[in-house]
Each structure stands twice: as C-alpha cells, then as structure tokens.
C-alpha cells in the first residue's frame, strides 16, 4: 500500500522524528511505499523570519538554516497538501501528532476531505483517544506503540481482512467508538534502524560552536520512571501498565550498530540523544555503551537529571563523545520544584551536577519553567540567579502548559479546550494563570529571561523596560540580544 505520513511540525523546527522514521523503515521492510508531508519546510507567508532570527542562540557559522531555505517558494499548507495527495496518491494517511498540533491537522483534513483512510498515532491519540476519534476525518487511532499495529492494519485493509481485533487499534463502528485491548511492548532490539532518508536532508543541519555537522535525534529507550507533574509519563505508565515494563531500553549492541549505519549512510557525526535522561541507565549498561561508541568517533548531546550525575558516569559519557548536556532546573525555588513539580533535587545538587559537567568541558544548557503554581516574580528571579551563578552556556525557557492527564492539569482542574472545543495553543499558555503574576508579566519574563541571565545586574533596569510590549520595548530587546551575542 501507499502510505503518506504527515508530520505537522513547526516551521524550521528541525530534527527527524524518531517515530515516523522508524515506522517508515518497518513499512518498507514489509513492501509498502512510503512518503511524508513534512510541515517543517513548508514556507508560508505567515512565517515571521525576524522572530526566528531573534531566537537563534548559535554561534555564527559559514551558513545558516535560514540560508538553506532562502530560495524555497512560498506556499500554503493547503496547497502543499493537495499537491502531495495528487502526486503520491496515498491509500492511507498516517498522522503522528502531539497535542499542540492536533487542531491544525484536523482543520487541514476537514477542509480537504481526503478520499483515503486516516490513522492518527502519537501521544495525543494515546491519552485522548475518544477526543481524537470523534472527528469524522479520523478513521483509526493507535493507542501506545504502533510498530506491529501498522503492519497488521495495512495487511487487513489491503487484503479485505477483519481489522476489529487488532490490538492497540481504535476505530468507529456505526458511529460508536471502539478501543481494542493493548498488546505487549515490542522488543526494541528487533526494530530496524530509523529511515532518515524519508526526510529532507536539511533536517540534518547541526551547528555547534561555530561549526556545521550532520546529525539528528536518536533514542535508545522508551518511557521514564519519574513522576514529574508537568509530564504525561505518569499517566502513560498507568494506561499502558499491562503492556510490560514502561521504562526500557535496547541493548548497547543495537545502539552502536544503528548509529554506525546512520554515520555511514548520512555522514552523521552529531547526534541528539532524545532519551528522557541517559544517566537513568544502569552503570553496567553505560560501560558497555561507552566501549562501543568510543570507536565511532561521534559527538552527541543529551538530557541529564541533576540527581543522577556522578563523576564516574560523566567520564563514561566523555568516552562516548558527549559535548553538550541539557539539565532540568525548572525552578530556582526548591519548595515550588518539590511541592508543585515533584522534582526532588536540591539547588546544591543542581550546582554540583553542572559544575561537574563544566569541569569536563561539556556545554550546559538548562531547562527552566515559568508561570508555575504559586510562583511570584521573586521566584522567577531565583531561577534567573541560579542560572547566572552557574554561568550556563544557554537557557531554554518555557511557560508551563497543563497537558491532558498530567498531574498538574488534574490537580488544578485545568481544561485545555476553549468554548469552541479548540485546544488552547501553547502560544496562549499564560492565560491559565497558574502563577501569582498576571499573564502579561509571565510572557514578558519569558522573553527577557536569557537577557537577565547573561547581562550584568547593572543592566537589569534596562532589561525591565524591554519587558514591555510596545514597539520601543521590542526594538530594545532586539538590541540587547545583539549586544549579548557579541
């Protein structure tokens, strides 16, 4: 069958999605023809180039991602969709979707009414199966893992077989939504190397410290054993508990074999390991992984939980090729971090972890959250000062979004749907007003967070002026960002 994946991504948010690339490899192994409609490089006139450039934190390189798309023609999403359907003529559309992109793809399908079947998979259909299937343009959903389901469903559709007993499948029968039983988790060592060739090679653009590398996301584990209130992992673990051990990982041998293939086939030498925290792996596993990866001569970045850091583990990561780490601080206030987020590390643990990483010349970026329950402006500056004290290389700052079935959304009884039944976009997240600050102040602090961290405190009164929303403040913020880059 002819399968068209849809990746409803944000413009220029590069990185090959692990789910679609893996499913593509499996489908090709089973004789199916695969293509993708990837929103990442669909250049519409609504894109704000100035905003993209303003947010860039990379050191100058020979060329930029913007240079790579400079000659792309403008086109609407609807035109791109129609062209792909007309040229590829799919038998089924397979949509991998997260909550933030769900309404966008539903609206596209409702406007264009494809004649083929559609199946939705990913986090959103798994946690909100009935909300997903209620839409007429959605014929099937995958709840949980889809590697075995997709093969079985295509076989059933192609050969006129009954699909109603396929595990992990959701469908509609005479207008009634049916959700089938779940199947055991797959053995990750049985899965093929992800099919990076399906995607535009510009996804492989990896600037790092002034140089350009090839590479993308790679994941060697699934699930997470932690219970952070802003993350859906706890609810997923409960929902899928009959499927087997939720947090699991493939063998070091599988990882080394697949990375070797990706390096040989795509000249990939810079990977972002997308596992929730690589140091959750057991020490023996890390030793075996280090033995194999150090022979590949690759660089990688990964996410690290501060409480998992030991010097022995960091030295193993250095053997493997680590050059960059993302560390979750979330909040500089220990009470908020513990009571509201269930992140139990202390500030001293964060300081020790980041100092260890920097000791071994590992670039550190931090993950910080604003708009948290009970948070004040003073609490935000606790987070700013902690980042500043540690002299981190960069910060990533987000206003907390109460995704469905997270403990945060359930504790505060937050509904992400507006009065018209549409999902409130992430860009409007501050309206949930979880903190003690007005939404406008939370948004302004997010925009200026990096400036407060990077520039001397004598300049903070100037930065505060840049928190305003008028044009003068916008120009001042841009000028300060340029000053920061010098």
- In tens, the pLDDT along 63-91 reads 999 999 999 999 999 999 999 999 999 99
- Strands 217-218 and 117-121, sheet pairing: unpaired
Angle at the Cα of 8 from the Cα atoms of 139 and 151, rounded to 5 degrees: 45
Q: Is the pLDDT of residue 161 over 80?
A: yes
Q: What is the pLDDT of residue 485?
A: 66
Per-domain residue ranges of the chain: 2-179, 215-454, 455-486
Q: Is the pLDDT of residue 395 over 50?
A: yes
pLDDT in tens, 112-122: 999 999 999 99
Q: Is the pLDDT of residue 430 over 90?
A: no
In this structure, of 94-108, 307-321, 421-435, 455-469, the range with the lowest mean pLDDT score is 421-435
Q: Is the pLDDT of residue 144 over 50?
A: yes
Q: What is the pLDDT of residue 53?
A: 43
What is the arithmetic mean of pLDDT over 283-293?
Answer: 97
Rounded CA-CA distance 484/228 in Å is 33
For residue 186, the 8-state DSSP code is: P
Q: What is the pLDDT of residue 115?
A: 94
Count each helix (H run) and each strand (E run) in the chain, helices first: 19, 17
Q: What is the pLDDT of residue 179?
A: 98
pLDDT range class, residue 260, cuts 50, 70, 90? very high
Domain 215-454: give its CATH superfamily: Aldolase class I (3.20.20.70)
Q: Is the pLDDT of residue 463 over 90?
A: yes
- Evaluate whether 480 touches 455 at the Cβ level (below 8 Å): yes
pLDDT in tens, 44-61: 988 644 444 444 455 788
* DSSP assignment string, 294-333: TTT--EEEEEE-GGG--HHHHHHHHHHTEEEEEEEEE-S-
Q: What is the pLDDT of residue 435?
A: 94
Q: What is the pLDDT of residue 482?
A: 82
Whole-model pTM? 0.94
Q: What is the pLDDT of residue 57?
A: 55
- Evaluate whether 320 touches 362 at the Cβ level (below 8 Å): no
Rounded CA-CA distance 416/119 in Å is 23
Cβ within 8 Å of residue 210, ≥6 positions away? 59, 60, 61
Greater model confidence, 422 or 46: 422
What is the arithmetic mean of pLDDT over 148-167?
Answer: 97
* DSSP assignment string, 385-426: HHHHHHT-SEEEEEE----TT-HHHHHTT---B-TTSPBPPG
In this structure, of 111-120, 372-381, 415-424, the range with the lowest mean pLDDT score is 415-424
Q: What is the pLDDT of residue 50?
A: 42
Helix/strand/coil (H/E/C) assignment for every residue in 43-74:
CCCCCCHHHHHHCCCCCCCCCCHHHHCCCCCC
pLDDT in tens, 355-372: 999 999 999 999 999 999
CATH for 2-179 is 3.40.50.280
- Evaluate whether 93 touches 226 at the Cβ level (below 8 Å): no
For the chain, give the mean pLDDT. 94
Under DSSP, is residue 196 helix (H, G, I), strand (E, B) or coil? helix
């Amino acid at each position: 069958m002819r399968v068209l994946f849809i990746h409803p991504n944000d413009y220029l948010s590069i990185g090959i999605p692990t789910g679609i690339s893996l499913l593509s490899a499996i489908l090709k192994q089973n004789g199916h023809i695969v293509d993708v409609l990837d929103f990442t490089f669909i250049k519409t006139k609504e894109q704000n180039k100035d905003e993209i450039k303003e947010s860039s934190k990379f050191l100058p390189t020979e060329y930029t991602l913007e240079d790579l798309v400079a000659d792309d023609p403008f086109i609407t999403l609807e035109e791109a969709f129609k062209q792909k359907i007309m040229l590829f003529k799919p038998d089924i559309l397979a949509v991998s979707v997260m909550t933030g992109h769900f309404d966008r793809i539903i609206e596209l399908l409702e406007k264009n009414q494809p004649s083929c079947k559609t199946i939705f998979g990913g986090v959103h259909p798994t946690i909100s199966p009935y909300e997903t299937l209620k839409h007429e343009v959605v014929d099937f959903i995958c709840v949980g893992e889809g590697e075995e389901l997709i093969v079985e469903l295509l076989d059933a559709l192609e050969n006129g077989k009954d699909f109603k007993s396929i595990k992990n499948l959701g469908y509609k029968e005479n207008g009634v939504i049916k959700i089938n039983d779940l199947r055991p988790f797959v053995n990750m060592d049985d899965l093929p190397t992800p099919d990076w060739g399906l995607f535009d090679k510009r996804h492989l653009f990896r600037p790092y410290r002034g140089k350009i590398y090839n590479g993308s996301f790679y994941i060697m584990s699934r699930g997470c054993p932690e219970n952070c209130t802003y993350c859906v992992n706890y609810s997923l673990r409960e929902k899928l508990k009959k499927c087997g051990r939720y947090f699991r990982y493939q063998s070091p041998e599988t990882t080394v074999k697949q990375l070797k293939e990706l390096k040989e086939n795509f000249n990939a030498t810079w990977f972002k390991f997308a596992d929730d925290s690589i140091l959750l792996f057991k020490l023996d596993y890390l030793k075996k992984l280090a033995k194999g990866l150090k022979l590949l001569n690759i660089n990688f970045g990964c996410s690290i939980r501060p409480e998992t850091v030991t010097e022995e583990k960091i030295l193993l990561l250095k053997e493997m090729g680590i050059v960059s780490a993302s560390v979750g601080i979330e909040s500089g206030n220990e009470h908020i971090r513990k009571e509201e987020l269930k992140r139990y590390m202390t500030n001293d643990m964060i300081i020790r972890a980041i100092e260890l990483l920097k000791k071994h010349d590992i670039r550190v970026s931090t993950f910080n959250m604003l708009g948290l329950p009970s948070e004040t402006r003073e609490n935000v500056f606790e987070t700013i000062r902690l980042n500043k004290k540690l002299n981190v290389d960069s910060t990533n700052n987000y206003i907390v979004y109460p995704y469905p079935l997270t403990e945060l959304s359930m504790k505060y009884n937050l509904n992400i749907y507006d009065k018209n039944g549409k999902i409130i976009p992430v860009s409007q997240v501050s309206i949930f007003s979880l903190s003690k600050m007005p939404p406008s102040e939370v948004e302004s602090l997010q925009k200026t967070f990096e400036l407060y961290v990077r520039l001397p405190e004598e300049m903070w009164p100037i930065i505060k002026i840049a928190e305003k929303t008028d044009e003068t403040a916008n120009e001042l913020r841009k000028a300060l960002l340029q000053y920061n880059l010098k």
